[in-house]
Amino acid sequence: MTKTVGVLGGGQLGRMMVEPANRIKIPINILDAPGAPAKQISSHAGHIDGSFKDAESIKKLAKTCDVITFEIEHINTKVLEELDGTVAIEPHWSTVRIIQDKYAQKEHLSAHGVAVAESYSLDHATEEDLRAVGSKYGYPFMLKSKTEAYDGKGNYPVKSAADIPDALKQLGSRPLYAEKWAEFKMELAVMAVKTKDGTIAYPTTETIHEDSICKLTYTPARGVLRDIRERAEALAKKAVATFKGKGVFGVEMFLLKDDTLLINEIAPRPHNSGHYTIEGSDVSQFEAHLRAITDVPLGQDDLQLCKPAAIMLNVLGGSTPDSHVQIYNLAKQTPRIRIHDYGKAEARPGRKMGHLTVTAASMSEAEALINPLIAAVDAQKGREPSVPQEIAPQPLVAIIMGSDSDLPILKPAFAILDSFGIPYETRVTSAHRTPDWMYEFVTGAKARGFRTIIAAAGGAAHLPGMAAALTTLPVVGIPVKASVLDGVDSLYSIVQMPRGEPVATVGINNSTNAALLAARILSVRDERVEVCLERFYGEHHEEVMAKDAKLLKLGPIKYLEQMGR
Amino acid sequence: MTKTVGVLGGGQLGRMMVEPANRIKIPINILDAPGAPAKQISSHAGHIDGSFKDAESIKKLAKTCDVITFEIEHINTKVLEELDGTVAIEPHWSTVRIIQDKYAQKEHLSAHGVAVAESYSLDHATEEDLRAVGSKYGYPFMLKSKTEAYDGKGNYPVKSAADIPDALKQLGSRPLYAEKWAEFKMELAVMAVKTKDGTIAYPTTETIHEDSICKLTYTPARGVLRDIRERAEALAKKAVATFKGKGVFGVEMFLLKDDTLLINEIAPRPHNSGHYTIEGSDVSQFEAHLRAITDVPLGQDDLQLCKPAAIMLNVLGGSTPDSHVQIYNLAKQTPRIRIHDYGKAEARPGRKMGHLTVTAASMSEAEALINPLIAAVDAQKGREPSVPQEIAPQPLVAIIMGSDSDLPILKPAFAILDSFGIPYETRVTSAHRTPDWMYEFVTGAKARGFRTIIAAAGGAAHLPGMAAALTTLPVVGIPVKASVLDGVDSLYSIVQMPRGEPVATVGINNSTNAALLAARILSVRDERVEVCLERFYGEHHEEVMAKDAKLLKLGPIKYLEQMGR
């Protein structure tokens, strides 16, 4: 039995809920003004015209549907409480009530053992109260409104005691709380979904804010190791599981300098930091929300990333009424950028008008595609570009050697990788002379995006084997012929690794084969490399066939003469 | 300047054009009956109510837009010809006129040097005419209506002379042509896009028809080598480039038993065989069509597959009014299946009500996900399942050996691959005793989906090197210790390959390392393997640390005693 959904609010979030509802045949009625973004893409008689804050309109909507949900948490929970029992409300109204009050939200999470920033309630705060907070938490600290705060509105960073009068002037009339300053190195967000069967989560996203508004998201968070991302997802699931009701929740958190994670705040609805899921996942956060609240099955598999990297860029209203359209126009000139316009009638500076998404086989590829758009957004604001305009290609192969005397041996490898367009980085990292540097480079290689290591060494050739012991990346070893023993010492040292740590060993001094082997390994992932390999072997074949034809034509004696033998 | 698009017809193709139009802000007006599928997801005053066959309505639509296009080619080209000059018509009306008449279409293509099936015009055909065709082409041959033919309507396979009277009875009143029977091994389709800058194409799709209606598409076409797919894409581009105007064209073709490609027919619009592009590509065929006809840039990069495999299954009306909804309900229970309902008011048997798409990291993964849905569609029709219900996992590693005497050496490799859940296939393929079988197996390995080969050999160990010479897959070589020389003979034979054909050589008899190396290679593509590797090395580490703790506790003498030494 298909349930009809009623949505309080038909802005961009409501609109992006309507998209999957249209596709998977979930009836959906929107309460908002006529012509609201969500209503523009849904033409039927079931919508309600009115404000999502108006009690009567909410009651009218409730009569048209089985489940009420919302695109914004600043709603009248008293009406929802009243309606409880006559219609399902997802997530539960009590969840919304807790989350609406950010201090109550924090107390709720703390009480359930979820890590949040330390904070202190401050209703009817005086200057004296704030000075006391300053002595307790130190400066800066955050002064925040408990309610009606979003996109930075209602927050005041108190940098010193001198800020206190102005802070009170800005926020003094509202119920407040003070929060200890979180020295974070990165802001992360995880979209978690509470279904009838449990709580699941999308991958960890890095969020970049500008003027307290979300500007960019990067998924998975850049340079964050998998175990931290897994901790973030576990924390989001733990936090969301404490709330009553079903649906998608946006969990924003801080990654502190010591890699601790603290929850900043939670939104009980689809969230800007999850917009990338429209292209990034099989099931978007909007469809996930509809599925969760109507009990359509949904599993962790549905939430995985379709491609290794996704970036979302918000498009805000600018100084002219068509600033956002100029960004779309540039996006249309740029390959593979997906445009999402929200159909808003009027562009005001800072208003969210739409967003852009790109997904790619690697984060550096995604960055190279979207950075010109970020620069255009910066330029509209009269800012310097916040991102580099030339993205150096991600090196995929690390070529390491014990000594620069091995460099000449590696020349043929460079030629092959260059001709295939495979970016590489060459470093001297001696296992014997710089064991700490070798350790640092190799253990960090995977996080830096390398996919294969080529290691060259001679004599008691330990570098390839040590590298293999310090990473799970495939390591190709080149035995270099040293001054004695004709390279057999190097070969044995490299190939005869104990069970557990394999080195893909090639012939003595044969860096051509090392590069070709690295290319074959990369071709398992990247069809473009496969095409290069096929071209290479095709030419190789032609070359030998030509020699054979020449030999047949000239005969061996003349051939040898031409060879100068 | 954004152009407004007017669409003749608001069925499913029009609806799927409206989806990207809503997102990328292209104004779009639909001519069709009120409540048509396309109008359901677009609420504004610019649509026209009426039939897309009605001249007056078409003229009314033309006044609202800059470009007219259509979702069906069975339209009144005379009205379009009349309108030419007052509004852009894309693709050009003359293109539609040629394509509407399938025989004229074939003559047009032939005249431009594009390969089509041999055919013969037969207006006012008599039984005698058909018998003459039978003698010329042999039986079976196809009798086809030149016009108004789609989804198998208007086609009659004439299996023998005895069919002739019935064939004429079914089709005799229409202008006809006969077509030589194409003994095809597969039907393929390529969506090509004609833009202001040239013609580009989506990847080659395999189409499966049932009762002359498209049932399934597989992209890229299964088991079709890349060079054939590239030829199909080139053929589609060549064919589409001959037509006037811009837009998406669906090019259906036959792959004959000798690998020749023949064009079957062309649709001047988005096509059922391109529905997979909604999830399968960055830019869907519908957005591509809108971009092409409104001169928004579009490049070949926008058309590439997002994931390695995509399957689309049509959902048709069945014996009960909710047959299609039953299929959707099952799809909702199945992970990662994307549902596209068309919003049609009434389900008739055989009517296209919606479709399902799945994209995956491999074709076998996609098949495993969607085959239960195909079986459900078959069951609704009272048919035996047309697809296997248990998909054997795609083996990723081929383990080959010169002799079964090498099998015991490989036991540790099997244990590692099994514990990592990496499917593999083991074969005996001696380079010396069965060179032809080795050649066949290795050259076919890539097309069969293997990503790495492990080859074990002893003595004059040629197998790993020969394998490396016959494929671009990475080949891991295990030198097996034979009866003399302690395995050094095998090692040298394997590792000392000439420049060009690398073998990733591991230690003598060390199949543990061969399996771990294969896993490291696969981990470049598959994060799940990386997780297995990290778990493995974690346990490995714990084991050694435990031994160290024990040694510290017992001291060396007692430790040796416990070892029985």
> Given this model, what pLDDT does residue A388 score?
84
CB contacts of B341 in chain A (<8 Å) are 22-25
Same domain, B461 and B557: no
User: Which of B336, B499, B524 lies at the smallest CB-CB distance from A525?
Assistant: B524
B171 Cβ contact partners less than 8 Å away, ≥ 6 residues apart: B143, B144, B145, B154, B156
Q: Is residue A550 part of a domain?
A: yes
Same domain, B59 and B130: no
**Minimal CA–CA distance to B67: which of B49, B104, B50, B92?**
B92
Within 10 angstroms of residue B425's Cβ, the number of other Cβ atoms is 15
CATH number for the domain harbouring residue B80: 3.40.50.20
State whether B520 and A472 contact (CB < 8 Å). yes
Chain B residue with CA closest to A297: the answer is: B333
User: Which of A44, A524, A540 lies at the smallest CB-CB distance from B521?
Assistant: A524
Whether B505 contacts A505, CB under 8 Å: yes
What whole-number distance in Å separates Cα of residue B67 and Cα of residue B49?
18
Phi/psi at B195 (nearest 5 deg)? Answer: -115, 180
CB contacts of B336 in chain A (<8 Å) are 282-283, 301-302
A493 Cβ contact partners less than 8 Å away, ≥ 6 residues apart: A457, A459, A460, A461, A462, A465, A479
**A556 min Cα distance to partner chain B (Å):** 22
For residue A381, give the DSSP letter. Answer: T
B440 Cβ contact partners less than 8 Å away, ≥ 6 residues apart: none
A241 Cβ contact partners less than 8 Å away, ≥ 6 residues apart: A194, A198, A199
User: Which of B306, B499, B523 lies at the smallest CB-CB distance from A307?
Assistant: B306
Strand partners, A354: A315, A341
> Given this model, what pLDDT does residue B394 score?
85
User: Which of A500, A504, A534 lies at the smallest CB-CB distance from B540?
Assistant: A500
User: Which of B301, B338, B506 lies at the smallest CB-CB distance from A502?
Assistant: B506
Parallel, antiparallel or unpaired: strands A475-480 and A452-458: parallel
User: Which residue type does A463 have?
Assistant: L
Q: Is residue B461 part of a domain?
A: yes
Q: Is a pLDDT exceeding 80 seen at residue A173?
A: no
Whether B22 contacts A40, CB under 8 Å: yes
Q: Is residue B253 part of a domain?
A: no
The string of DSSP letters for A153-205 reads TTEEEE-SGGGHHHHHHHHTTS-EEEEE---EEEEEEEEEEEETTEEEEPPPE
User: Which residue type does A270 have?
Assistant: P
Whether B503 contacts B453, CB under 8 Å: no
Q: Is residue A218 part of a domain?
A: no
Same domain, A409 and A497: yes
> Given this model, what pLDDT does residue B151 score?
63
User: Which of A499, A525, A530 lies at the smallest CB-CB distance from B513?
Assistant: A499
State whether A524 and B520 contact (CB < 8 Å). no
CB contacts of A343 in chain B (<8 Å) are 22, 25
What whole-number distance in Å separates Cα of residue A445 and Cα of residue A457?
19
User: Which residue type does A40 have?
Assistant: Q
CB contacts of B540 in chain A (<8 Å) are 500
CB contacts of A412 in chain B (<8 Å) are 499
User: Which of B339, B503, B521 lies at the smallest CB-CB distance from A24?
Assistant: B339
State whether B524 and A452 contact (CB < 8 Å). yes
**Minimal CA–CA distance to B501: which of A496, A519, A408?**
A519
Whether B533 contacts A472, CB under 8 Å: yes
CB contacts of B301 in chain A (<8 Å) are 335-336
E-only strand ranges, A416-500: 424-428, 452-458, 475-480
Domain boundary among the residues B181, B199, B224 is at B181
User: Which residue type does B128 have?
Assistant: E
Q: Is residue A551 part of a domain?
A: yes
User: Which of A508, A513, A534 lies at the smallest CB-CB distance from B472?
Assistant: A534
State whether A497 and B512 contact (CB < 8 Å). no
CA distances from B325 to A265, A488, B312, B313, B315 (A): 40, 70, 17, 14, 9
Domain boundary among the residues A181, A207, A234 is at A181
Chain A residue with CA closest to B468: the answer is: A517
By residue count, chain A amounts to 565
CB contacts of A475 in chain B (<8 Å) are 520
> Given this model, what pLDDT does residue A545 score?
92
User: Which of B343, B513, B530 lies at the smallest CB-CB distance from A497?
Assistant: B513
Over range A349-363, report the average pLDDT: 94
- pLDDT tens-digit profile of A80-136? 999 999 999 999 999 999 999 999 999 999 999 998 988 889 888 888 888 998 999
Domain boundary among the residues B164, B181, B198 is at B181
- pLDDT tens-digit profile of A532-542? 999 999 999 99
Same domain, A461 and A498: yes
Q: Is a pLDDT exceeding 70 seen at residue A150?
A: no
CB contacts of A34 in chain B (<8 Å) are none
Map residue A315 onto helix, strand or coil.
strand
Parallel, antiparallel or unpaired: strands B452-458 and B397-401: parallel
> Given this model, what pLDDT does residue A155 score?
84
State whether A499 and B412 contact (CB < 8 Å). yes
- pLDDT tens-digit profile of A288-346? 999 999 999 999 999 999 988 999 999 999 999 999 999 999 999 999 999 999 999 89
The string of DSSP letters for B197-254 reads TEEEEPPPEEEEEETTEEEEEEESPTT--HHHHHHHHHHHHHHHHTSSS-EEEEEEEE
Q: Is residue A333 part of a domain?
A: no
How big is chain B by its Cα radius of gyration, in Å? Answer: 30
CB contacts of B23 in chain A (<8 Å) are 338-341
Task: Say if residue B464 is preceded by a cis peptide, omega within 30 of 0.
Answer: no
CB contacts of A19 in chain B (<8 Å) are 19, 22
- Crossing angle of helices A407-420/A511-523, nearest 10°? 30
State whether B307 and A307 contact (CB < 8 Å). yes
A2 Cβ contact partners less than 8 Å away, ≥ 6 residues apart: A25, A26, A27, A294
State whether A472 and B297 contact (CB < 8 Å). no
Interface test with A, best of B517, B529, B544, B547 (most A CBs within 10 A): B517
**Minimal CA–CA distance to B455: which of B445, B464, B468?**
B464
Same domain, B512 and B538: no
Percent of chain A with pLDDT over 70: 99
CB contacts of A23 in chain B (<8 Å) are 338-341
Whether A219 contacts A305, CB under 8 Å: yes
CATH number for the domain harbouring residue B153: 3.30.1490.20
Same domain, B408 and B513: yes
State whether B41 and A22 contact (CB < 8 Å). yes
- Give the number of C-alpha atoms closer than 13 A to the C-alpha of residue B484, restricted to the C-beta side: 1
State whether B302 and A335 contact (CB < 8 Å). yes
> Given this model, what pLDDT does residue A513 score?
97
Phi-psi region of B392 (alpha: psi -120 to 50; beta: other; left: phi over 0): beta
Within 10 angstroms of residue A510's Cβ, the number of other Cβ atoms is 24
What whole-number distance in Å separates Cα of residue A475 and Cα of residue A455?
7
Chain A residue with CA closest to B497: the answer is: A507
Can you count the helices (H) and strands (E) in chain A?
A: 19, 23
Same domain, B151 and B51: no
**Minimal CA–CA distance to B452: which of B464, B436, B461, B438?**
B464
Over range A233-249, report the average pLDDT: 97
> Given this model, what pLDDT does residue A172 score?
72
User: Which of B43, B473, B491 lies at the smallest CB-CB distance from A520?
Assistant: B473
Mean pLDDT, chain A, whole residue set: 93
Q: Is a pLDDT exceeding 90 seen at residue A207?
A: yes
Query: For chains A and B, what is the number of CB pairs under 8 angstroms?
Result: 207
State whether B497 and A510 contact (CB < 8 Å). yes
- With vertex at residue B213, the alpha carbon angle to CA B211 and CA B217, rounded to the nearest 5 degrees, is 120
Q: Which helix (H) or strand (E) holds A247?
A: strand A247-256
- At A385, is the pLDDT very low, low, confident or very high (cuts 50, 70, 90)? confident
State whether A40 and B24 contact (CB < 8 Å). no
What whole-number distance in Å separates Cα of residue A470 and Cα of residue B160?
72
State whether A41 and B24 contact (CB < 8 Å). no
> Given this model, what pLDDT does residue B168 score?
87
Whether A193 contacts A199, CB under 8 Å: yes
State whether A512 and B499 contact (CB < 8 Å). yes
CB contacts of B279 in chain A (<8 Å) are 282
Total tally of structural domains belonging to chain B: 4
Whether B298 contacts B281, CB under 8 Å: no
CA distances from B521 to A401, A515, B292 (A): 21, 14, 41
CB contacts of B534 in chain A (<8 Å) are 472
Phi/psi at A229 (nearest 5 deg)? Answer: -60, -40
What whole-number distance in Å separates Cα of residue A495 and Cα of residue A502?
8
Phi/psi at B516 (nearest 5 deg)? Answer: -65, -35
Question: Tokens 């197996």 correspond to what residue?
Answer: B441
What whole-number distance in Å separates Cα of residue B18 and Cα of residue B67?
15
Q: Is residue A57 part of a domain?
A: yes
Question: Tokens 């581009």 correspond to what residue?
Answer: B237
**A121 min Cα distance to partner chain B (Å):** 43
B275 Cβ contact partners less than 8 Å away, ≥ 6 residues apart: B16, B217, B285, B312, B340, B355, B357
Same domain, A407 and A482: yes
Same domain, B429 and B507: yes
What whole-number distance in Å separates Cα of residue B508 and Cα of residue B516?
15
Q: A291 is written with which tokens?
A: 């599925």
> Given this model, what pLDDT does residue B153 score?
74
Boundaries of domain holding B555: 534-562
Task: Report the side by side order of strands in the sheet with A28-32.
Answer: A48-49, A28-32, A5-8, A67-70, A88-89
Interface test with A, best of B3, B330, B332 (most A CBs within 10 A): B332
Within 10 angstroms of residue A131's Cβ, the number of other Cβ atoms is 12
Same domain, A17 and A125: no
What whole-number distance in Å separates Cα of residue B302 and Cα of residue A335?
6
What whole-number distance in Å separates Cα of residue A76 and Cα of residue A53?
6
The string of DSSP letters for B372-417 reads HHHHHHHHHTTPPPSS-SSPPPPP-EEEEESSGGGHHHHHHHHHHH
Same domain, A477 and A435: yes
CB contacts of B523 in chain A (<8 Å) are 472-474
**A426 min Cα distance to partner chain B (Å):** 20
pTM: 0.90
State whether B506 and A503 contact (CB < 8 Å). yes
Q: What is the pLDDT along chain B (565 residues), one digit of tens a residue?
A: 789 999 999 999 999 999 999 999 999 999 999 999 999 999 999 999 999 999 999 999 999 999 999 999 989 899 999 999 999 999 999 999 999 999 999 999 999 999 898 888 988 888 888 899 899 999 999 899 888 776 667 888 899 999 999 988 888 778 899 999 888 999 999 999 999 999 999 999 999 999 889 999 999 999 888 889 999 999 999 999 999 999 999 999 999 999 999 999 999 999 999 999 999 999 999 999 999 999 999 999 999 999 889 999 999 999 999 999 999 999 999 999 999 999 998 999 999 999 999 999 888 889 999 999 999 999 999 998 888 877 778 899 999 998 898 999 999 999 999 999 999 999 999 988 899 999 999 999 998 889 999 999 998 899 999 999 999 999 999 999 988 888 999 999 999 999 999 999 999 999 999 999 999 999 998 888 998 999 999 999 999 999 999 999 999 999 999 988 8
A563 Cβ contact partners less than 8 Å away, ≥ 6 residues apart: none
**A124 min Cα distance to partner chain B (Å):** 46
- pLDDT tens-digit profile of A416-462? 999 999 999 999 999 888 999 999 999 999 988 899 999 999 988 99
By residue count, chain B amounts to 565
**Minimal CA–CA distance to A214: which of A134, A272, A158, A141?**
A272
Rounded to the nearest angstrom, the gap between the alpha carbon of residue B38 and the centroid of all alpha carbons in its chain is 27
Same domain, B80 and B172: no
Chain B residue with CA closest to A296: the answer is: B332
Q: Is residue A285 part of a domain?
A: no
